Structure 1
């Protein structure tokens, strides 16, 4: 297949390298130092999916059919906050081509579908943990499945076809109740805020008892907000509707078992989380589409999510100041917001 990957961050670069390794013709849309590095040496993949140096991949600053020709599939892998700009820039070029939207948050598939009404859009939720801290190089710290689907029903024929075409290369799995799975992934993404605020790895944050408790509370708010919204949580990595509803109302000390489970699954290689990676690269984070999404959904149904609101504000504080906070500073700030 001839595949365009829009977004050359950690996940976009990982998927571009895996597709190249599987023999597909890949066009990677990149910018700045990443574009220069990939044009010169390709993408170097290391870590959980094995070692690979791309051999045929083409890097471009912008898709242009006169230069690159039409594509069979588009992987839309930009951060949620960059969706509108990417659609403005590339929408006319990719209109009509099938689009796989690989994005965190709740609104990605809906936003891309609205902007590209002639394209068939499928959602993707990736549990892969990958680090891109150096142009042209990406390291997978946690290899995992990427889940495909759309809507609340069972996977349709097109979703199944994409799973068959690319499932082996990208470790794809088609699932039902994709909307519910987006909410489950939103809970998983609660791992990101505290590392971005403190500058520590996900594992280190979870190992810190007080920070782990804050993370647990933010996860409980997420589930309780989803339940109040009428969401039936989708199944991802052993997490499902029944288990998450139980978690939401367990005593907080028992609920801490969930982040500890995530930590165990990550292994020993420090995982910075995608939000901290954005801060270290001097880029805007997608926090408004992670913890911030919980805050908006809660407000929409007349509820509040004070822990998520505090964490969102603290990530923005670090974005603006460039200075990480100590655990004690985090505790005081979250306590003040919850009063």
Structure 2
């Protein structure tokens, strides 16, 4: 199989580089300065064993590839806010032997949240969801880092909305040859919703810095409690904390990497890079949406969604809102919600 990594940033670049290291055929899809750097210098992957360089085909879209191959696997690794554009671009790409990518090829959603798989299923017949547990960083154009050891990451994989098949098992085998653990599960959404609860803290980290002190941890606990209440009201199951602990154990331990400090998660990185967009609508915003659908107030997640979007839109520095100020805004949001209710 040939893997086409649509969005070769932190997560996509890491997976693409590790697959190439394992001898799999990989094409990278990127834009702008990152694409130029990939073409000029190759993909540089900084990992615990050193910096590795892979000279891989790099394109901006499907056109330079001509007809896609029948054994291609499309791996969607863009941020959720860019999913619709990527699906439109790649869905109609012709496949050798007839048909389009949306009709003929598997699409693997290597992304946070739960919305991308739903969007993909509107266009693609074969959609695979992934619960992404992969600490990685976009350092600079052409260079990504992944500090996990002994495994680079853990990627629960399954058909969306449910089920398993031979394609999932073949992809998992390739990932496991590439320093990942890739359990094939029939209920991948249950793992994705569990990860969604964890990701509710990414907006908090993005606007106020790492959740390292008691105040930050308390705010995250309140965000998560809202999320758990919403999923319970919606009847949505998620993997338990004990299941996740058993699945992960000490398999992905972060190792300090020279010249590649890990400042924060994906949302923090979006602000630090000044991309102008952030995933909050599909993380905290997913909880807000479900809360509105099922009559559960979610004032804290709504606040963090709004703040994260404002920070991205106005190019505010990551982590620049003091936690004390965020606490004040959170208390005001909860009080206002109580009065409205």
Aligned to 1:299, the other structure's residue is in SS state helix
Corresponding position of 1:287: 280
Q: Trace 1:242-253 onto structure 2 (pairs within 5 A).
A: none
Q: Trace 1:150-299 onto structure 2 (pairs within 5 A).
A: 150-151=159-160, 155-169=164-178, 171=180, 172-198=182-208, 200=209, 205-234=210-239, 238-239=243-244, 270-283=262-275, 284-299=277-292
Asked if the contact 1:17–1:45 (Cα under 8 Å) also holds between the matched residues in 2, the reply is: yes
* Counterparts in 2 of 1:278 and 1:51: CA distance versus 1, 3 Å: same
Corresponding position of 1:329: 325
Cα distance in 1 for partners of 2:65, 2:81 equals 28
Q: CA deviation at 1:163?
A: 1.6
Q: Trace 1:115-130 onto structure 2 (pairs within 5 A).
A: 115-117=123-125, 120-130=126-136
Asked if the contact 1:292–1:312 (Cα under 8 Å) also holds between the matched residues in 2, the reply is: yes
* Counterparts in 2 of 1:187 and 1:49: CA distance versus 1, 3 Å: farther
Asked if the contact 1:133–1:277 (Cα under 8 Å) also holds between the matched residues in 2, the reply is: no
Cα distance in 1 for partners of 2:266, 2:147 equals 12
Task: State which of 106, 111, 120 in structure 2 corresponds to 1:103.
Answer: 111
Alpha carbon RMSD of aligned pairs, Å?
2.5
Cα distance in 1 for partners of 2:92, 2:290 equals 31
Asked if the contact 1:29–1:61 (Cα under 8 Å) also holds between the matched residues in 2, the reply is: yes
| Structure 2: stretches of 5+ with no match in the other structure | 94-100, 336-341
Q: CA deviation at 1:74?
A: 0.9
Cα distance in 2 for partners of 1:170, 1:99 equals 21
Cα distance in 2 for partners of 1:41, 1:101 equals 27
Corresponding position of 2:97: none
Asked if the contact 1:191–1:273 (Cα under 8 Å) also holds between the matched residues in 2, the reply is: no
Aligned to 1:239, the other structure's residue is in SS state helix
Cα distance in 1 for partners of 2:255, 2:25 equals 33
| Structure 1: stretches of 5+ with no match in the other structure | 244-260
Cα distance in 2 for partners of 1:281, 1:66 equals 29
TM-score of the pair, normalised by structure 1: 0.84
Q: What is the aligned residue count?
A: 311
1:231-273 C-alpha deviation (Å, 9 max, x unpaired): 2212578438xx9xxxxxxxxxxxxxxxxx99x9657764411
Structure 1 or 2: larger helix share?
Answer: 1
Cα distance in 2 for partners of 1:97, 1:298 equals 35
1:264-290 C-alpha deviation (Å, 9 max, x unpaired): 965776441100111122221111000
Asked if the contact 1:133–1:281 (Cα under 8 Å) also holds between the matched residues in 2, the reply is: no
Cα distance in 1 for partners of 2:310, 2:49 equals 35
Asked if the contact 2:135–2:147 (Cα under 8 Å) also holds between the matched residues in 1, the reply is: yes
* Counterparts in 2 of 1:51 and 1:338: CA distance versus 1, 3 Å: same
